Amino acid sequence: MFLLIELPQYLLEDGSYPGQIAVTQPRRVAATSIAARVSAEQGQPLGTVVGYSVRFDERMGPGTRIKYLTDGMLVREMMNDPLLTCYDVVIIDEAHVRKCTCALCQRPSASSIHISYLQQPK
């Protein structure tokens, strides 16, 4: 969870990526709640610098730089823009359980970060 909250903010503050940073989440509740938390940490209202896009709900503006979205929304965006050229970075959470990562691994125009969490046996 730390990486999904901190890493996009580090990339934003670094300034190396002037475009949008997409962060996928497997569930809509995760996308909306993490976006709200990161927005609060940035000290900005939700939908300005940090926003989200889930099915039937979206909080974004023209200046949104970090966008949390579900896999389905990312796939929908890929229908119009197969290489996702609107994003400088795409961060895929729980990549080991995803089906949409194959197309993203072949994306030559931007950075793609795949994050997997594997539980340690107790």
Q: Tens digit of pLDDT for each residue in 78-98?
A: 889 888 888 988 888 765 455
CA distance 25 to 2: 14
Q: What is the pLDDT of residue 116?
A: 47
CA distance 2 to 91: 13
Tell me which CATH code domain 2-115 carries: 3.40.50.300
CA distance 81 to 20: 14
Q: What is the pLDDT of residue 50?
A: 96
Report residues of the chain scoring pLDDT below 70.
Answer: 1-3, 94-122
What are the residue boundaries of the structural domains of the chain, listed by start? 2-115
Q: What is the pLDDT of residue 109?
A: 52
